[in-house]
Amino acid sequence: MVCWPAMCPVSPVWPRKPNLWAFWVLLLVLLLSWKSWAENYFQNCHWLVVLNKFDRVGALLSKDRFMDQEPMDTVTEVFQKLVDSPIDPREKYMGFPYYLKVNFSCMGKNDEELVRKGHLMGLRPVILISYKYPVNFYRWKIENLQIQMEAAPLRSTGFCIAEVMCALNWYVPMPTKNGSVVMSVDIRSNGLGPYIPPRRFYVNINGYMKRDVSGNPIFTIGYEVAAATGEKTFALKSDHFKRSKSRPLWYTQNHSPVLILGGIEDEKTILLSDTNFQDFSLVELSIDSCWVGSYYCPILNFSATIHDAISTESTLFIRQNQLVYYFTGSYSALFGSSYSSSSWVRVLASECIKKLCPVFVNGNGSEYILALTTGKNEGYIHIGTITDGRVSFKMMPDSWSICDKLPGSNCSINWATYIADEKNLLLLVETLSVKLVKIFYLLNFNLGTQQLDILYVIPQFIPEVQDLDFLVLHGTETYTRTAMIPKGLFFNTFNNMLYIWGNFILQSYNRIHFIYLADFPKDSIIKYMVNSYQGDMAFVTEREEIWYFLEGGYDVYRLVPSKGWDIYFSLQKLQHSSLFADQEFLVTLFYEDGQLYQLIYLVDSGYERLVKRVLPVAQLLLYDQNTPYSLVTTGNFWTPSFTNLCPFKVMRLRDLPKKQHLARQELYHAPPPLVSESLGFHNNKTLAVYQGLVYYLLWLHSKYDKPYADPVHDPTWRWWEHKSRYKDYYFYLSSNWLAAEGVYIDMSSYQKLYNISHDHGLPEMVFLDKGTSFSFTVFLTAHEDTFKLSASSGSSYQVEKKLAVAVVVADPECLDVTVKQDVLLNRKAVLYKITIKDKKVCYDQGISGHNLKKTSMMVKVLGSSGKCFQTTYLGTSTQGHLMVPLLIGCPPGKRLAFDVTYTILHSQQLNKHYFDCVVSNSEMPCFLFRDLFQPFFLVQDMVTGDSGRFLGSYLLKVVGGGPTMDTIRDYTEEEIYRYNSPLDKTNSLIWKTKAERTTQDKKFYIMSQQSPGIEWLCLENSPCHDITPRSIFAPEFFLKLLVSNRGVDTSSYCDYQLIFILHLHGLPLSAKRSLFIVLVSTSLFVGLVIFYILFCLLWPHIVKAWVSLRWKINNIMAAESFYTYATSSAALSLQSQTVSEPSFKAPSIAGSRVDNASEKEVVA
C-alpha cells in the first residue's frame, strides 16, 4: 500500500540513515511507475459541462439552452438571513439564470465512482470564464474580462441507496455580462486528485429561441428537426449529408455566438450551434421559398437548398436561390428588443443575388457582408452593414458599374472581400476578351474616394515550376497548357497576406507582386479555405481533400488522404474510438483556438452520428515524414543512423513578459463560500449565495467605471470598506459553527488579480501603446552534428546557418524589431533575444480599444516548416513557427479619472479653506464658486492596477450644465465656444485661467498640472449667471466638464476623454437681482419698523377701548340675563294659581279691575 505524505501516519521514530537509500530508491521506482501509469490512464479522461437553469440544480440528466440573459431576483430571501456576515443589507443581490454543471469521464470507468473518489481526494474544478468584447465599441466599453471561480460539489436530488453514494456533480454560476454574448469556459483541476487535461468550452447566448405557452424553448427562425421522435418534424437522415458536399462555415471571427451551416440538398434546413458544434440542432427555416424568374434574373432551376449561410454577432444571413434573408436575434445584452426580428426579413427584393461573400473581421464598430449581383445590375456590389442588429445595404459604386471600366464582354464579379479598416474592396472579376479568352482581374475599389485600380491580371495558364517550391511571377515565366481557374480571394488583415485560390494558390505581401506555390497540384480545385489567424491555413478541394499551409512559408501539405492519415486512422480504429467510422462524410472544416476541427458524419452499421473531432495536423505531418537513414559501423555491427530533419533538438521560449498585461486581461477571483457541512457538500441555498456574490462582484466592476476616482484603485474596495474590521469576528463565528445558514464568506478571497505568474507562453493577442515594447527569448538546442562541424574554420557561421531565426512583422513601417544572438557552446544552444517596439507613427489618438490597427509578428526557425514536432502525453504539436497578432493603439483598460480626493486637499492649501455643501454627497463633493479650482487627474490601468498622476496637457471645456442634476442639458458647438473660448466677445464666459497656452487657433486654453487654476466667472450671458435660489442657501449649479488630451498631448495613443459633473455652490447673484432683493428687504424692514411704532403708540388706546367695550358688553349681558329670569318666575306663579282656583270660583267673562291691574303689574 502506497500512501501520500498527507495521508501517512506520523511516526516519532525516523528510519536509521543506512536504510534511507533503499527507501528513496523504492519511492523513485514507485513514482516513475505511477507517472507512466498516469500518462497512459488519465489522458483518456476529459471534462464534461452542461448548462442548468437555476431551479433545476441537482437534477439528474438535466440540460438547458442559454437563452435567458437578464439577472433574476432569486437570492434575496437567502441573503436576508445572512446576519453577521460581510454583506451589505442595503444592496440588492441578484442571481443569474444558469449554472454550469461540471463533471468528468474516463474511458472504461464508472463515472460516478471516479467523481466521488476525486472529491474525497480534494479535486475541485477551477473555472475560468472569458468574455469576448462586443463589436460596437461606440456603445460598449472594450475590455477583456475574465472571472475565475471554483466549482462547488453538490449531491444530486435523485434516488440513491445511501447519502454518500448519491451522484455527485460540481456547480458554478454562469454569470452574464452586458455587451458580451460569446463566452469561453476553461476548466482545469486544482492539482489534487486524478489528472484531467484542461479543456475549453464555448457557452454562448442563443438569441434565436423563445418560450412557448407551456414554457418550453422553441426556435424563432424555424422548427427544430430531431432524431427519431414523433414530436419533431423530421429525423436526422444520412441522406442529408451523403448527397451534400462539404461547405464552408462563415462567421465573424471571435464574435458570432451562433454558427449556422447550410448546403443540405433540397432541404431548407440548416445546422445551428451555440457551442461551436459541441452540440447542434437541425432547424427547418420558416421562409416562404417563393421566387419567380424574370428577364433580368433568369432562373435555371429551383431548389430549396440554403446555398450561403453567414452568422454575425447578432444576425443570421442566408441565400436561397437568388433571394437573401436575414434574422436579427433577441440579444438584450447588446441592444433593445425593438431591433429583434419576429420573422425572416427579405432584403434586396428587386435584385438578383448570385453569391454572398463573408467579411470575417469586423471594423469601425460594425460587421459587414457582401452580396454579388447578376442580371441587370451585374458589376455592382451590395455592401451590408450590421450595427447593433440594424441591417442596411448600399450598392457600390454609386453611379457607374465596375464592368464599365474594364475591356471585354460578359463581365462578372466572381468574389469580393472587404478590408474594413482601409475601406477597400478587393474584387475578382472575370471578363471575356475580344479573342474569346477569359481574363481574370484583381481590382481594388475604395469606398471613400470611389477610385478603381487594377492591381493584377491573373495569368491565363499555370506557370512551369521545374521542381521548385515556389515561383515569383514577373511575367517572363514559361507556362503549361493547364488554364488557371480562380475561384476566390482571402485577405488576412493581421499579416497583410492576400491569397488567390482555385486550381492554384497565389500569395502576395503587397497585393501587386505574387508568388506561386508549386506544391499544390494543378489538377485539384480548391472549394473553400479556412484560416486560424495564428499562422495556419487549410484548403478543401472539390474532391474533399484537405490541404495544409503554414503562412510565411511555401510548403503545402496534403493531410487527407495521405500516408500519415492512414496511419492515424488505423490507430484510432484499433483503439475503438467513437469518433471514427469506416464510412465518413465531411460536412465542414474550421479552426477553433488555433486547432483544426472536422465536422463529420459517421456511418456505422445501425449507428449514424454527426461529430466534431480534432484533425491533428502535427501528428499527421509527423506520420507522413520519410525520415532518411544510413547504415554506419559501430564496432562489428551495422546500425541505422537516422537523419534529423528538424534543424534543432529543443525549442523553448524564455524570459517571457507577463501574459496578462500584454493581452490586457482583467481577472477576478471568486471562490465559493465555505460551508459547515462535514463532507464539504453545498446545497441550493449556499449555491444561491455564491450566485449573489458573483453578481455583486461583477456589479462592482461595472460601477467602478465612473469619472470620480476612489481613494483606493480597486473595484472591490467598497465591498469590504466597512466590513474588514470585523473579519476576525466572522471567522470566529464560522469556526464555532455559528455562521448564519452555515456559510462563511472569506473577504480576502474575492479580489481582482493584477499579476498572474503561472501563465506561460505568449498571449493570443498583444496590445501595444505608443512607443511600448515587449521582448522574449527563443532558446534553441542544437543536434550533435551542428557543433561537430563547427570545429572547423568558420564555426560561428556554421552555427548561425543551422540555427537561424527569422522575425517578420506585417507592417515594418510601424514596428521595429531587434534580434540579439548569443551562442552557448558549452550547452550546445543558441539564444535569440527578440524585441518588438512600436515606432510611434502608425496611429493617431483614439478612445481605449477603438479602431486599433491590426498587424502581426511572426518568428520562424529556418528549415523547420513541417519538420519539427514536440510530442508529450497531451499530444503532438508543431515547433519552429510562431505568429502573434498585434493591435496598435490605445489598449483596453486605460482610463482617465478625476482625482477628487487630492483636488480637495490641494484646494484647502490653495484657498486656505474648503467648504462643502450643506447637504454633502460623498460621491460628488461640492466646490465653492469664489475659490480657485485646480483639478487633478489620474491615469488608471485596470489591468496592471497602476494609478498615477496625469502629467500631460489637456483641454477642459464646459459642455453642459443645469441648476439641478435633472435639468442638465448638453450645449451646442456654438454655446461651447462662447462659454469656454478666450476669444468670446459676447460676455458669456463661464470660467477663465491665467494659463498662457492655447490651441493653435487660440480658441481654447491648454491646461496641465502646472496651470495656475480656474477662476469661475459665470458672466451675464452664461447659463450659470443669475441663478434663482431654491432655498435660504446660496444658489448651486452643476457643470458638465469634458477633459481630453487629443491633439495637445502626444505621449500616448490614448485619447483620454473624461466627462464628469462638477457641483458648484455659493454662486453670486446678479446686480439687478441683488438690488431687487435689497429693495424688497429694506421695504419689508421699514414696513415692520413703522408697523412697530404705530403699534406701540396705538396700543394703550386700543387696550382702553377694548376694556370699555368689554364693560358695556358685560352690562348688557347681565341686564338681559336678569330680565329673562324675572319673567320666567312670574309666569310660573300665575300658572300655579290658575290651576288651583277653578274648583272654588266661577270663571268671569270680562274680568275684574283687580285682575286687570294685577296683570298689568306683572307685565310691567
Give the angle 278-108-185 at the CA atoms, nearest 5°: 30
Asked if pLDDT for residue 1142 goes beyond 50, the answer is no
What is the pLDDT at residue 289?
Answer: 67
Give the pLDDT of residue 142.
92
Other beta carbons within 10 angstroms of residue 859's beta carbon come to: 24
Tell me the pLDDT band of 147, cut-offs 50, 70 and 90.
Answer: very high
User: In the structure, what pLDDT confidence band is assigned to residue 1144 with cuts at 50, 70 and 90?
Assistant: very low
Per-residue pLDDT at 23: 40
**Per-residue pLDDT for 386 more than 60?**
yes
Q: Which amino acid is at 231?
A: E
Confidence of residue 29 (pLDDT cuts 50, 70, 90): very low
Q: Rounded to whole angstroms, how far apart are CA atoms 82 and 699?
A: 20
Tell me the percentage of the chain whose pLDDT exceeds 90: 55
Rounded CA-CA distance 676/699 in Å is 28
Taking each continuous run of H as one helix and of E as one strand, the counts in the chain are 15, 68
Of residues 839, 662, 770, 773, the one with CA closest to residue 1052: 770
Query: Would you give the DSSP letter of residue 512?
Result: S
pLDDT beyond 60 at 1164: no
157-161, 231-235, 259-263 — which one is most confidently predicted on average? 259-263
Q: Which three cell numbers stand for residue 454?
A: 487594377
Q: What is the mean pLDDT of the chain?
A: 85
Dig out the grid coordinates for 637 from the structure. 555491427
pLDDT average, residue stretch 826-846: 91
pLDDT of residue 730: 87
Q: How far apart are CA 886 and CA 853, in angstroms?
A: 8
Q: Give the residue, 975 or 826, on which the prediction is more confident.
A: 975
Q: Which of 842, 769, 792 is nearest to 1054 (CA)?
A: 769
Give residue-wise pLDDT tens across range 606-640. 788 899 999 999 999 999 888 776 676 767 777 67
CB atoms within 10 A of CB 105: 15
CB 431 within 8 A of CB 410: yes
Q: Torsions phi, psi of 740, nearest 5? A: -65, 135
Look at residue 283 in the predicted model and tell me its pLDDT: 93
Residue 41 pLDDT grade (very low, low, confident, very high; cuts 50, 70, 90): very low
CA 259, 550, 801: angle at the middle one, nearest 5? 155
Mean pLDDT value across residues 277-300:
76
Under a CB-based contact definition with an 8 Å cutoff, are residues 281 and 329 in contact? no
β-bridge pairing 125-131 and 144-150: antiparallel
User: Is the model's pLDDT at 914 over the cut of 50?
Assistant: yes
Mean pLDDT computed over 1134-1143 = 46
Q: How confident is the model at residue 186 (pLDDT cuts 50, 70, 90)?
A: very high
Please report the pLDDT score of residue 63 as a whole number: 86
Encode pLDDT of 729-785 as tens digits: 888 888 888 888 889 998 888 999 998 876 678 999 999 999 999 999 999 998 876
CB distance 316 to 258 below 8 Å: yes
Q: What is the mean pLDDT of the segment spanning 876-889?
A: 93
Could you give the percent of the chain with pLDDT greater than 70?
Answer: 87
CA dist list (Å): 656 to 442, 762, 888: 42, 7, 20
For the record, the C-alpha cell of 497 comes out as: 497576406
Residue recorded with cell 477633459: 1043
Residue 1123 has pLDDT above 50, yes or no: yes
Reply yes or no on whether the pLDDT at 834 is more than 80.
yes
Lookup: cell for 273:
450551434
Mean pLDDT of all residues in 183-195? 92
Kindly indicate the confidence band of residue 1028, based on its pLDDT and cuts at 50, 70 and 90: confident
Strand pairing report for 773-781 and 829-838: antiparallel
1027-1055 mean pLDDT: 89
Give the residue from 239, 233, 344 showing the smallest Cα distance to 290: 344
Q: Is the peptide bond before 982 cis (omega within 30 degrees of 0)?
A: no
Q: Where in 107-232 does DSSP place strands (E)?
A: 125-131, 144-150, 152-155, 168-173, 183-189, 199-202, 209-211, 217-219, 222-225
CB 921 within 8 A of CB 1003: no
**531 vs 336, residue with greater confidence:** 531
User: If you search the block for the grid coordinates 437568388, which residue do you land on?
Assistant: 322
Q: Phi, psi (5° rounding) for residue 950?
A: -80, 115
pLDDT tops 80 at residue 662:
yes
pLDDT tens, residue by residue, 60-113: 778 889 999 999 988 988 998 888 888 888 888 999 999 999 999 888 787 788
Distances (CA, A) of 370 to 271, 313, 441, 532, 810: 22, 16, 18, 21, 26
pLDDT reported for residue 120: 87
Local confidence band at 533 (pLDDT 50, 70, 90 cut-offs) = very high
Q: What is the pTM of this model?
A: 0.86
The stretch 1100-1121 carries a mean pLDDT of 85
Contact 843, 889 (CB under 8 A): yes
For residue 1160, pLDDT over 50 is answered with no
Higher pLDDT, 632 or 985: 985
Residue 793's pLDDT is what?
47
Report the C-alpha gap between 35 and 873 in whole angstroms.
11
pLDDT at residue 641, rounded to an integer: 64
Q: Are 168 and 223 in contact (CB under 8 A)?
A: no
Cell of 500: 488567390
Q: Which of 42-51, 479-488, 1008-1017 has the lowest mean pLDDT?
A: 42-51
Strand partners, 637: 634
Q: Which residue has the higher pLDDT, 15 or 621?
A: 621
Q: Are 74 and 691 in contact (CB under 8 A)?
A: yes
φ/ψ region of 24 (left if φ > 0, alpha if ψ in -120 to 50, else beta) reads: alpha
* Span 893-920, average pLDDT: 91
Calculate the alpha carbon distances from 723 to 86, 89, 507, 706 in Å: 6, 12, 62, 23
Cβ–Cβ under 8 Å, residues 931 and 975:
no
User: Cα angle vertex 275, ends 202, 95, to 5°?
Assistant: 65
Phi, psi (rounded to 5 degrees) for 28: -65, -40
Average pLDDT over residues 158-179: 80
- 957 closest CA partner among 941, 974, 945: 974
Confidence of residue 796 (pLDDT cuts 50, 70, 90): low
**Cα atoms in the Cβ-side hemisphere of radius 13 Å centred on 1083:** 6
